[in-house]
Amino acid sequence: MGDEPALNEPVTLHLRGDWGQANMHRICGWIAQEIGDRAPAGSRFAVWSGRGGADAITALREREADIAIITPTAAVRMLARTGGLDGLRSLGVIGQWDRLVVAVDAGLPVHSVAELAEFTGKLTVATSPDDGVNLVGLAAHKALAVAGVDVRRLDFVYDERPFPCIERFADAHADVLVHEAVMTPRWQHIDRLRPVKYLPWGDEVVRAFAAEGWGAAVVPAGFLPGLTEDLHTLDFSDFVVLCREDLPEEVAYLATWCMVRTRRALEAQYAHLPADRSPVTYPLVPADMARTPIALHPAAARAYTDLGADDAPDDPLMWG
């Protein structure tokens, strides 16, 4: 493979992804295979199922994983501010355009999340649990409380993943949906049984989250069914590839080199989707990959410097 970096000694690496069929597992599988192609015989790689939230941090700290994926970048920034990521480093960011959106039945007489606090009727909210691991659940419950909503008055239907929550709302088993994955087809059919409208989180929530490093973002008009004007909401973008600061230099360098130089191998798995509807945003740009919410592993930083922001990927004709 020419001047490509390679490992001189066999390595055993454990990577932590998602539940098994989503994007974090794909990213882990891609990284594992590309490192494996440049590692000597006897090397072993395992991708462990996870939840994509704070469990990734626990797995790294307890040495159950060497590389782990977490989303969104905003939550990583927030956790870093509280010292929750001490001893961890980043290998880079894999782009994903996403938002945390509040959808409600169009007949509900409210126009913002804050107005939910004044609504006296019974409400059922479909979202994820705030259990110390799920970051959708963390953000949803925290934002509702900041907006003045008494969550004790609400009924919740919980699921770990977005699609069951979206289905419950779409099937009229919930009045309110708070979730992510807004680029996926499930959101495009959310209005199949009833008209839908979307609620902005409001300035108070935006300010409170911004103070903790979690930024706001916009869903443009027309992106979701029935969305007639830009929706100001919370960001839920990007996958952060984490490791411990003691990950061997040669492994961290090679992993980062593979993420940059072989990125077409990941992008090609999403090329059948429009770029603005893909759960991994393409094309991946090295300069963006290097902009992480926590410090890069020193070897990863060196790899980005060596390769340069405009480095061309291998197999430029992979698109066909």
Q: How far apart are CA 197 and CA 206, in angstroms?
A: 20
3-state secondary structure of 300: helix
* Bridge pairing between strands 44-48 and 12-16: parallel
pLDDT of residue 317: 41
pLDDT band per the 50, 70, 90 thresholds, residue 315: low
Report the mean per-residue pLDDT for the chain: 94
pLDDT of residue 128: 98
The fraction of the chain above a pLDDT of 90, given in percent, is: 91
Q: How far apart are CA 82 and CA 62, in angstroms?
A: 19
Residue 99: name the closest of 264, 233, 287 by CA: 233
pLDDT of residue 316: 47
Question: Is the Cβ–Cβ distance between 43 and 12 less than 8 Å?
Answer: yes
pLDDT digits (tens, 9 = 90+) for 111-160: 999 999 999 889 999 999 999 999 999 999 999 999 999 999 999 999 99
The model carries a pTM of: 0.94
Asked whether residue 42 carries a pLDDT value surpassing 50, the answer given is: yes
pLDDT digits (tens, 9 = 90+) for 68-127: 999 999 999 999 998 889 999 999 999 999 999 999 999 999 999 999 999 988 999 999
pLDDT of residue 3: 81
Residue type, 260: V
Mean pLDDT confidence for 282-310: 93
pLDDT band per the 50, 70, 90 thresholds, residue 193: confident
Q: How far is CA 148 from the centre of its chain?
A: 27
Mean pLDDT confidence for 243-257: 98
pLDDT of residue 312: 66
- Which residue(s) pair with 126 in the sheet? 157, 177
pLDDT band per the 50, 70, 90 thresholds, residue 320: very low
3-state secondary structure of 253: helix
* Bridge pairing between strands 155-158 and 124-127: parallel
Question: Is the Cβ–Cβ distance between 242 and 84 less than 8 Å?
Answer: no
Q: How far apart are CA 53 and CA 160, in angstroms?
A: 10
